[in-house]
Amino acid sequence: MSWNRRHLITIEELSLAELEQIHTVAAAFKKVLGRSVKKIPALRGKTIVNLFLEPSTRTRMAFDMAAKRLSADVISFDAASSSTTKGETLRDTAENIAALGADMIVIRHNCAGSPLYLSRILDIPVINAGDGSHEHPTQGLLDTFTIKERLGTLRGRRVVILGDILFSRVARSNIHALVKFGADVTLCGPSTLVPESLRSLGVKVSHDLRSALADAEVVMLLRIQHERQTASMFPSLGEYTSMFGLNRTRAGWLHPNAIIMHPGPINRGVEIDSDLADGDRSVILDQVSNGIAVRMACLYLCAGGRPEAVTPTE
Ligand code: CP
């Protein structure tokens, strides 16, 4: 199957075959990252601009590394010292970046729909690195890649996403990806952050932590997205932790081989205790590492790279 998309905006719009294709290409690139020379010339001569208008550590650095491993030139936009502080619009900013010769834009923005908007007005590929509470497609791709790497398959796996689902773009992208891969997904947290309406996405909803975690094979923690909440969604952080924080006792309810995930940044002692975040069952740093190969795959495919050129049949 060939790849026919120039933009990566949501997981919702991708087919299962497209998700699998990205994972296959990412697996090939992961082998490249294991070599002594971790670089291939696939995007030599291309310039990629990381247009991050919201803070980021992992995503921005992983896109930066991914582009460099593909031999592209990378420019990281510095929002604080840019002319956006003088009132320049997103459209003008992006059109000027394209006029300067960028071949691709990776955008993070606090406004849902910004990447889609740019994809409609620019002639170059646009990749969504997180838009408001909407989607964070490369996070969903790297999370499902990591689960498959650890558990072999996603089909039928019992996955719990625990925490602030309502305001989480990570949750939304993971829900779409996990459901397409055939996982059995339960969303858990306070009813204010995990509304019943989310069942329409093909998942279960629970407000009872013990029954949600019972025998789960994957638990994915999410931090409270204070920056997106306009009202108090629970009485206090202490009360949230006492009811929904993952600690050693509660981790004992999981399947014996369960893995513990978190997209970062972690609020230690709030949604997860440090001994679990740093423990044997944690794959949190694997998620971060896998983010490079997965983003290499996304950049490569959206730039017009042929999947078969990097995934030879054996
Ligand atoms: N997971 C994630 O998006 O982390 P950053 O905000 O640090 O990029």
Where are the domains positioned within the chain?
A: 16-135+291-309, 137-287
Please answer whether residues 216 and 243 qualify as being in contact, where contact means their C-beta atoms are separated by less than 8 angstroms.
Answer: no
Query: What residue's CA is closest to ligand 1, atom 3?
Result: 59
* DSSP designation for 8: B
Question: Ligand 1 center to residue 301 CA distance, Å?
Answer: 22
pTM (two decimals): 0.95
Question: Ligand 1 center to residue 171 CA distance, Å?
Answer: 13
137-287, what's its fold? Rossmann fold (3.40.50)
Query: What residue's CA is closest to ligand 1, atom 1?
Result: 263
Mean pLDDT over residues 32-60, rounded?
A: 97
- Both tokens assigned to 134: 């909407």
**What confidence tier does 312 reach under pLDDT thresholds 50, 70, 90?**
low
Please state the atom number of ligand 1 nearest to the C-alpha of residue 139: 1
**How far does Cα 186 stand from its chain's mean position?**
18
pLDDT for residue 311: 79
Residues with CB under 6 A from ligand 1: 56-59, 130, 136, 139, 263-265
pLDDT tens digit string along 243-300?
Answer: 999 999 999 999 999 999 999 999 999 999 999 999 999 999 999 999 999 999 999 9
Q: CA of 131: how far to CAs of 8, 145, 165, in Å?
A: 12, 21, 15
pLDDT for residue 236: 80
How big is the CA angle at 69 (ends 118 and 36), to the nearest 5 degrees?
165
Please answer whether residues 91 and 119 qualify as being in contact, where contact means their C-beta atoms are separated by less than 8 angstroms.
Answer: no
Query: What residue's CA is closest to ligand 1, atom 6?
Result: 56
Per the listing, tokens 């031999």 go with 71
Please name every residue paired with 205 in a beta bridge, in sequence order, or none if there are none. 187
**What confidence tier does 28 reach under pLDDT thresholds 50, 70, 90?**
very high
Please name every residue paired with 76 in a beta bridge, in sequence order, or none if there are none. 50
Please state the atom number of ligand 1 nearest to the C-alpha of residue 263: 1
Please enumerate in sequence order all residues whose Cβ is within 8 A of that of 313, keeping only pairs 6 or more positions apart, or say none: none
The yes-or-no answer to whether 16-135+291-309 and 137-287 have a common fold is yes
Residue 31 burial (10 A CB sphere; 0-12, 13-18, 19+) = exposed
Give the strand pairing for 158-162 and 184-188: parallel
CATH homologous superfamily of 16-135+291-309: Aspartate/ornithine carbamoyltransferase (3.40.50.1370)
Task: Please report, in angstroms and rounded to a whole number, the separation of the first and last CA atoms in the chain.
Answer: 17
Please state the atom number of ligand 1 nearest to the C-alpha of residue 136: 3
pLDDT tens digit string along 169-191?
Answer: 999 999 999 999 999 999 999 99
Backbone φ, ψ for residue 252 (5° rounding): -65, -15
